[in-house]
Structure 1
Amino acid sequence: MHDNQPRTIALDALPEVITRYLTAHRSHDTATAVTAFTGDATVVDDGHTYAGTAAIEGWLDRAATEFTYTVQLTDARETDADHYIATQHLEGDFPGGTVDLHYRFTLRAGLVERLVIEP
């Protein structure tokens, strides 16, 4: 019986495409980060939905310049082969100064189809 509860996995056990996205996003490498997404991907962040690679690329560019912060991957969970949650701890000059964000990934054919970022 599978209850679809996410189970903790080693940080380095996340799929390559997720690691590629997180690493590229952290280093403000938008060109590499956007390669992690399907052409029809959606990203939901801070109450906004970005659909398609052009919108996602614009969101990544804005996110890279809006605030200065450090990022540390603190937790990784797997629900099934296509659903992962990566938790990152951010500290910086944004309102509140620190936050733990959950990056909820849905994969399709080895790429990110949907990403929801929420506290």
Structure 2
Amino acid sequence: MTENPDTATVELPEVVRRYLRAHDAHDVPTTLATFAPGATVTDDGQTYEGTLALTRWLERTGSEYTYTTTLVGAESEGSDRYTVVQHLEGDFPGGTVDLRYRFALDGGLISRLDIAP
């Protein structure tokens, strides 16, 4: 992940930064450790809930396409909600996309993550 410090507008919590680094590195165990038990992820119109479903989602997203990410911006929507915008370029259909990662935190872990353009 490449960071653009001019557009990152808030200091992200460590768990969000750790998720972004681990997911970018396709490190499934470290990424999975950022989620609360029973966490939910919505990505590509599908919802994944719980450790087994999140593990399968992470394994698929880490191997399906090759891409690079650039942090475009981030904002806080309260003490436990953050939106991160990343620009992706790669061999997926369309080749480029800006994705919004909407994080909800609970007890220092990610309880919900919604990913959409």
TM-score by length of structure 1 reads 0.90
Q: Output the CA distance in 2 between the equivalents of 1:39 and 1:58.
A: 15
Which of 10, 16, 19 is the matching residue for 2:17?
A: 19
Return the match for 2:60 from 51, 59, 62: 62
What are the superposed Cα offsets for residues 33-80 of structure 1, whole Å, 9 maximum, x if unpaired?
000000110000001000001111110000000001001111010010
2:44 corresponds to 1:42:
no
Aligned equivalent of 2:76: 78
5+ residue gaps, structure 1: 1-7
5+ residue gaps, structure 2, are: 1-7
Paired residue for 2:9? 9
Calculate percent identity across the aligned residue pairs.
Answer: 54
Q: Tell me, in whole angstroms, the C-alpha distance in 2 between the residues paired with 1:59 and 1:72.
A: 21
Size of the aligned set, in residue pairs, is 110
SS of aligned partner of 2:99: strand
CA drift of 1:9 comes to 2.7
Structure 2 length as normaliser, TM-score? 0.92
Spell out, residue by residue over 1:8-43, the C-alpha distance to the aligned partner (whole angstroms, 9 max, x if none): 733xx1000000001000000000000000011000
RMSD (Å), alpha carbons: 0.9
Distance 1:16 1:54 in 2: 24
